[in-house]
Structure 1
Amino acid sequence: MKFSKILASAFALTLLFNISCRTNDDPIKEELPKGAYENGIIITNEGGYSTPTSTVSFIPTDLSKQEDNIFAKNNDNAILGNVFQTIGFKGDLAYLVLNVPNKVEIVNRYTFKKTATITSNLSTPRYIAFTPNNTYITNHDFSTVKKVNIYDNANNFVKSIDFDRYAEKISASNGYVYVQTDGLTYDSSYNELATGHTISRINPATNAVDKTITLSDDLVIRDMIADDNFVYVVTSDYTNSNIYKITSATGNVQKIELPGITGAQKLALDNSKLYFMTSGNKIYNLTATTANSMFTATASYAYGFNVIDGNVYVSDGSFTGDSTVRIYNSTGTIVKTLNTGIGTNGFYKN
């Protein structure tokens, strides 16, 4: 009996020693920060049309500090360019679309170190979207150029798809790419005119248009945005506004009328909730088919708009000096005011 007890005790000690050694040999690994610009908001400053004054700013999630010119600071004071239109994200990369220099600068989204540049076949690039195998960039000069360029994952040009009137906003959703292919023009007296009422769908399997959706009103298409399953389009004039909810997989369309709301302009998505802003700076959210008034933002020229983690970002755009950005909570209280760059036009969660 004593011998059995001694053996059992020895076995227990050996097991405890092995577990202890194994624990010491395999410590828990802490996730290292990806870079200085992780967990915050990237702000795009469009810059002037004829001067290379485009810049990028950053604020952390807690809004505690602001860092400007982060592209130049992390790339040997390189000049970004003119007319910084938008940013698109794919994995750890951010694609910075500049429509006057006809280029897309690709950087690490967390360090802002440049990794590559796309220039091939670009002509006034506007917006960008991604599928697993391709990059899609709209090119639109409001005159003769109206196309989507397609590139592979090595940034090689694949082909272009031409459109009749427009190639503006573009979004990938549920395996398809949706393109805003109509919008706004003016008559000789500078009155707004709709160019048409179409949204086109590209099938990435063929890189060809497989569906054209014609919206059922005669209003101007103002904006388009998408999540994983739906594409949202806002149309308006000076007396009416509508939102269209397109099921990405099928192309089926639900029209949501917005009675009493005029001049709906800009869309935003935050935690699966849709928001929009009107030409009068009024902010709304949408619950099912009901628009709920939130508050009216302060801006002489509301240029950039987004909703991120419940906060509403609105830029009062200036093209002669710094723009002013006001960040509101959901009740309309200003939580932060920033001076940013020339023509602040976008806010992106990073």
Structure 2
Amino acid sequence: MRKLHKLCLAVFMLMAFFSCKEEENQIPLGEFENGVFIINEGAFGANDGEVYHYDPSNGQLKSNIFESKNARPFAGLLQDMVEVEGRLYLVANTGKVEVVDPKDFASKGAVSEGLDISRSLVVANQKLYISDWGPYDANFNSPDSYIAVVDQLDGGTVSKKISVSSNPEGMFLAGNQILVACESAQKMDVISVSTEAVTKSLEVIGRPVRFFESDGKLFLYAKDSENIYLHEINRSNAEILQTVEINVVLATSKFTLGENGELLVITSTGWPDYNDAIARVNINSREVLNQAIFSGSGFYGIGYHPQLKEIYVGDNNGFQGSGTVIVLDQNGQQLKTFTAGRGPSGFLVK
């Protein structure tokens, strides 16, 4: 019995020791490693784009986190946010990219020269590739669109510009190729990372804006006034395998991936009425499940929280002051609202 007692005591002490070591090795999460980033585009001319952070677990909302962490305003129209390589890239369509640490939003660098109307970004071969419309011509077209190359992950100068079809938007890295959605040209350009040159340019139906993945498949989202077109892409040879056409009238470029292969798409009549709605569609069955799970006016951005099964909708309120975030359940029932910055246009859920 005495030996058994000593053995139990030894086992208990070992368990306590390793438990303490495990607690010592746990690294506390950064301030912004969980929650929802709200992309507030800002108003044209004011260039007051900013980022808010919302914590769904306690309802805490932190505003203007770039300025509060870096003691200077963002000072641009925020177009996109991309997290990759342990960095968060804030792309402004006013010709700059800010690089921050996603844990605490402290600045790590920037690309502040050499850009015109920057739209999005990918990282390949430890370089930044930034889609840019280029300067407008006399008719406000973009004949000199390009992908800007920056040789450092923390920003710096533009080392090269790769000419692409008009109005490049979202991009996707597929192996050694960068796929570029060129909206006005209605094309998908393909860039070789090795040569940093366009290897082919494919015509697509609709106006393409962004790539997304669903059930292991890669799609390019495009639209016109009557339909959305989901072009399935072969990653190895950058060819279009098939096109899924779904009748979503007046679809915008704003969408998010929901549950079970579904897309949530903002539709809008546009000026002057702005009758907006959120349509739910199924990719696999190619059908519209609901033309309007939620309706309103001024819908400017949409996101989905897969763990909470909540839909986030950005309402720009006509750009008259602050915007509003509307939180819905997955069936479109309103749960709550809270104030956002100017023109809430997108969400990054972590």
TM-score (norm 1): 0.81
CA distance in 2: counterparts of 1:257 and 1:120, whole angstroms: 40
In structure 2, do the counterparts of structure 1 residues 144 and 211 end up closer, same or farther at CA, with 3 Å as the change threshold? closer
Moved more, 16-25 or 31-40: 16-25
CA distance in 1: counterparts of 2:282 and 2:237, whole angstroms: 22
Aligned to 1:290: 286
- One-letter amino acid of the counterpart of residue 26, structure 2: E
User: Is 1:105 matched with 2:98?
Assistant: yes
Offset from partner CA, 1:83-141 (integer Å, 9 cap, x none): 111111113311111222x2211111121111111124212211111225221111115
- One-letter amino acid of the counterpart of residue 255, structure 1: T
- One-letter amino acid of the counterpart of residue 130, structure 2: I
Aligned to 1:49: 44
- One-letter amino acid of the counterpart of residue 194, structure 2: A
Work out whether residues 225 and 267 of structure 1, in 8 Å CA contact, stay in contact via their aligned partners in 2: no
CA distance in 2: counterparts of 1:323 and 1:233, whole angstroms: 29
Where 2:82 maps in the other structure, the secondary structure is: strand
Aligned to 1:130: 123
> 2:261 is matched with which residue: 257, 273, 280?
273
Aligned to 1:262: 249
Where 1:96 maps in the other structure, the secondary structure is: strand
CA distance in 1: counterparts of 2:289 and 2:85, whole angstroms: 35
Where 1:66 maps in the other structure, the secondary structure is: strand
Aligned to 1:159: 160
CA distance in 1: counterparts of 2:58 and 2:180, whole angstroms: 34
Q: Once superposed, what is the RMSD of the aligned Cα atoms?
A: 2.9
CA distance in 1: counterparts of 2:124 and 2:239, whole angstroms: 21
User: Is 1:235 matched with 2:235?
Assistant: no
Work out whether residues 210 and 222 of structure 2, in 8 Å CA contact, stay in contact via their aligned partners in 1: no
> 1:81 is matched with which residue: 54, 75, 79?
75
Offset from partner CA, 1:57-77 (integer Å, 9 cap, x none): 01114362211111111112x
The gaps in structure 1 that reach 5 residues or longer are 1-8, 184-195
Q: How does 1:1-350 map to 2 (within 5 A)?
A: 20=13, 24=17, 27-29=21-23, 30-62=25-57, 64-76=59-71, 78-100=72-94, 102-140=95-133, 141=135, 142-154=141-153, 155-156=155-156, 157-183=158-184, 196-215=185-204, 217=205, 219=206, 221-227=207-213, 230-253=217-240, 254-259=242-247, 261-265=248-252, 266-270=254-258, 273-277=261-265, 278-279=267-268, 280-294=276-290, 295-309=292-306, 310-317=309-316, 318-350=318-350
Offset from partner CA, 1:15-71 (integer Å, 9 cap, x none): x86995797387214522331112100001111221142111011143622111111
Q: CA deviation at 1:211?
A: 2.9
CA distance in 2: counterparts of 1:13 and 1:248, whole angstroms: 61
Structure 1 residue runs of 4+, over 4 Å off?
16-23
The gaps in structure 2 that reach 5 residues or longer are 136-140, 269-275
In structure 2, do the counterparts of structure 1 residues 287 and 257 end up closer, same or farther at CA, with 3 Å as the change threshold? closer
**Higher Rg:** 1
Offset from partner CA, 1:263-314 (integer Å, 9 cap, x none): 2323323577341413342321324142342443333122112223132222
In structure 2, do the counterparts of structure 1 residues 164 and 93 end up closer, same or farther at CA, with 3 Å as the change threshold? closer
In structure 2, do the counterparts of structure 1 residues 287 and 238 end up closer, same or farther at CA, with 3 Å as the change threshold? closer
CA distance in 2: counterparts of 1:65 and 1:233, whole angstroms: 35
- One-letter amino acid of the counterpart of residue 128, structure 1: L
Moved more, 34-43 or 163-172: 163-172
Offset from partner CA, 1:149-183 (integer Å, 9 cap, x none): 12223435342111242222222245532111232
Q: CA deviation at 1:255?
A: 0.8
CA distance in 1: counterparts of 2:283 and 2:230, whole angstroms: 12
- One-letter amino acid of the counterpart of residue 59, structure 2: S
TM-score (norm 2): 0.81
Work out whether residues 94 and 107 of structure 1, in 8 Å CA contact, stay in contact via their aligned partners in 2: yes
Aligned to 2:273: none
Work out whether residues 278 and 295 of structure 2, in 8 Å CA contact, stay in contact via their aligned partners in 1: no
Work out whether residues 246 and 288 of structure 2, in 8 Å CA contact, stay in contact via their aligned partners in 1: no
Q: CA deviation at 1:81?
A: 0.7
- One-letter amino acid of the counterpart of residue 148, structure 1: I
In structure 2, do the counterparts of structure 1 residues 236 and 289 end up closer, same or farther at CA, with 3 Å as the change threshold? same
Where 1:85 maps in the other structure, the secondary structure is: strand
CA distance in 2: counterparts of 1:146 and 1:97, whole angstroms: 16
Moved more, 103-112 or 306-315: 306-315
Structure 1 vs Structure 2: percent identity of aligned residues?
21
Work out whether residues 43 and 344 of structure 1, in 8 Å CA contact, stay in contact via their aligned partners in 2: yes
Where 2:66 maps in the other structure, the secondary structure is: helix
Where 1:49 maps in the other structure, the secondary structure is: coil
